[in-house]
Chain A
């Protein structure tokens, strides 16, 4: 299981750093032209876009609700009414697949924005630009996270955290104007999102820090500083635009890792909680040998989509890697 490898792979990142030194601030047109030439990469991108839009529009596209049960028609194979069959509780598999993509999408998006982008970029920028003690403190904390086993620890942290979050959500239900917070399952999203963000910022912070370290010494930053430009302006106007390529690479490489972590954590029973739909749950429900023998569609349906998604992420990641590092 190497889902988290990409995001935790610090040595890998170290070797990558060398390759991206020149590539940042590259021309966007050139970048897109190169990417379009990568056929497999483009196909993967299209697959990801199609699947993600299916997830976004799940409430409109899905023929049934993901919680709608029909016990009279449970464990059916594909039919006209249920394109991909029904599960043990008679829920429509096709609808559940769509909502599972939605779950993956929500978690991935939230983790990337908060963990890799905001937390990682901000800490990397500060560490690289400020240097000195700030740098040491941030990078040491990063070292602590990097030297820990990601997935097992995520499982353990989630397991310890989720009853607390459950209790908090019950408290929210009974003491604030928000109702049905507990029933909506939002709490488990928050747990998994929190835990994943905690671990995903390190690699992006490291990469961005190293980039900023070399950019900081460039002439145009010196020039900006010498005319008395404010730090804020230097960071937002001159440093950030120059690491935008790097950010794309970071996002694309962590997409698959985070989606995979969500699925795997849910599979283990510490991720998104029922009744919310997730691939992890569907895979777990279908993975018994007897179950697989009698009702193979329970496993094959989610397995197909998960594998497709993982392939697309891997190929796209490779293609972007090639495109961005070729300078």
Chain B
């Protein structure tokens, strides 16, 4: 276990190196070089040359890369071209915090709603409620976020004027941490739509998984035993079926996070939330290479670490899985 963990930890920097190097290569090599982007409207060859030297783009690619890497390791990703005068890390980290707040809330909703709904469907398996929930889940799973937000936004913000048209005011976690955790998400109307939009996909998936697992467990011998001892259905549900159907959910945490992060790219653009999703959108539109590069590095790092944690967590919970064999087959 320890050896495995260390192996995986050593694996992380390697992946990050490979990924950032290739992104760097794509950005720097070939036509459409960053010099012309950096220079903006300047088309004077002497000035172009000057910009090139100023940004260190005249040096060999490997030297450029290691220069970038060493400053990136210190949290310095260079300057943004769109927001002149700001450093990228100055811009990215506050935006990441906004996205992270929404993401955490969405994750809470995904599991907080998904698990009860899945259990409900499983326990009412032979009634009309189960197929109803299943089709509802299918709907949530299949409908793309970019399709559902505009109508919802129109309905809630314009037609009924219940929610703000978008944008972002104040955080979820600000000063009175605990108070804000409980009160502000409920009070802050800016949160509802994005959190809903971020969680629908994952929430359908979680509920579906819980339902399937719970239905399988229902047929196990120990459930029959519990029932024959005279335990009530609720007790069997909460005491035996629920804990056991949570196990496969650990693997889903990673995917739920991926889903939420992917969703953030679209939800933030549509609802005007100044998080990393929207920042990336702007950077992509204006071909801001350094931002793209920084985003690639940060996102890959975050993901690899999440993946590792989920994997380790899974082995911890389910001892049947042995990692050392699992990886090499």
Given known A287-B146, A292-B154, contact A1–B15 (CB-CB < 8 A): no
Q: Is the CB of B147 within 8 A of A303?
A: yes
Q: Is the CB of B270 within 8 A of A5?
A: no
From A4, A144, A209, A288, residue with most partner B Cβ within 10 Å? A144
Q: List chain A residues, Cβ under 8 A from B149.
A: 287
Q: List chain A residues, Cβ under 8 A from B266.
A: 1, 264, 267-268
Flag whether A43 is at the interface (Cβ < 8 A).
Answer: no
Complex Cα distance, B201 from A8, in Å, reads 15
Flag whether A19 is at the interface (Cβ < 8 A).
Answer: no
Q: Is the CB of B19 within 8 A of A148?
A: yes
Complex Cα distance, B255 from A171, in Å, reads 41
CB < 8 Å neighbour of B262 from A151, A164, A168, A269: A151
Q: Is the CB of B261 within 8 A of A152?
A: yes
Flag whether B87 is at the interface (Cβ < 8 A).
Answer: no
Flag whether A306 is at the interface (Cβ < 8 A).
Answer: yes
Q: Is the CB of B31 within 8 A of A149?
A: no
Q: Is the CB of A159 within 8 A of B144?
A: no
Q: Which of A283-319 contact B (CB under 8 A)?
A: 283-284, 286-289, 292-293, 299, 303, 306-307, 310-311, 313-315
Q: List chain A residues, Cβ under 8 A from B259.
A: 1-2, 5
Flag whether A213 is at the interface (Cβ < 8 A).
Answer: yes
Q: List chain B residues, Cβ under 8 A from A153.
A: 19, 296, 299-300
Q: List chain B residues, Cβ under 8 A from A231.
A: none
Complex Cα distance, B304 from A149, in Å, reads 8
Flag whether A160 is at the interface (Cβ < 8 A).
Answer: yes
Complex Cα distance, B27 from A314, in Å, reads 36
Q: List chain B residues, Cβ under 8 A from A233.
A: none
Flag whether B165 is at the interface (Cβ < 8 A).
Answer: yes
Flag whether B287 is at the interface (Cβ < 8 A).
Answer: yes
Flag whether A178 is at the interface (Cβ < 8 A).
Answer: no
Complex Cα distance, B315 from A33, in Å, reads 40
From B143, B150, B265, residue with most partner A Cβ within 10 Å? B150
From A148, A292, A313, A315, residue with most partner B Cβ within 10 Å? A148
Q: Is the CB of B265 within 8 A of A213?
A: no
Task: Render A104-123 as a binary contact track against B, CB cut-off 8 A, 1 for contact.
Answer: 00000000000000000000
Flag whether B285 is at the interface (Cβ < 8 A).
Answer: yes
Q: Is the CB of B23 within 8 A of A315?
A: no
Flag whether A60 is at the interface (Cβ < 8 A).
Answer: no
Task: Render B244-263 as a binary contact track against A, CB cut-off 8 A, 1 for contact.
Answer: 00001001101100110111
Q: List chain A residues, Cβ under 8 A from B11.
A: 143
Given known A1-B266, A5-B258, A147-B304, contact A310–B27 (CB-CB < 8 A): no
Instruction: Looking at the assembled complex, report how far the CB atom of B260 sits from the nearest CB atom of chain A, in whole angstroms.
Output: 9
Complex Cα distance, B92 from A161, in Å, reads 22
Q: Is the CB of A167 within 8 A of B31?
A: yes
Complex Cα distance, B328 from A210, in Å, reads 11
Seen from chain A, the residues whose Cβ lies within 8 Å of a Cβ on chain B are 1-5, 8-9, 11-12, 15, 135-136, 139, 143-144, 147-153, 155-157, 159-161, 163-164, 166-168, 171, 209-210, 213, 260, 263-264, 267-270, 280, 283-284, 286-289, 292-293, 299, 303, 306-307, 310-311, 313-315
Seen from chain B, the residues whose Cβ lies within 8 Å of a Cβ on chain A are 11, 15, 18-19, 23, 26-27, 30-32, 138-139, 141-147, 149-151, 153-154, 157-158, 165-166, 201-202, 205, 248, 251-252, 254-255, 258-259, 261-263, 265-266, 269-270, 280-281, 283-285, 287, 289, 292-293, 295-296, 299-300, 303-304, 307, 327-329
Q: List 20 A-B contacts (CB under 8 A).
A: A1-B144, A1-B262, A4-B262, A5-B201, A11-B255, A139-B328, A147-B303, A147-B304, A149-B262, A152-B280, A157-B23, A157-B26, A168-B31, A209-B329, A264-B266, A267-B146, A268-B284, A269-B281, A299-B150, A307-B147
Closest A-B pairs by Cβ, 7 of them: A167-B31, A163-B32, A2-B201, A11-B251, A1-B263, A159-B284, A1-B262
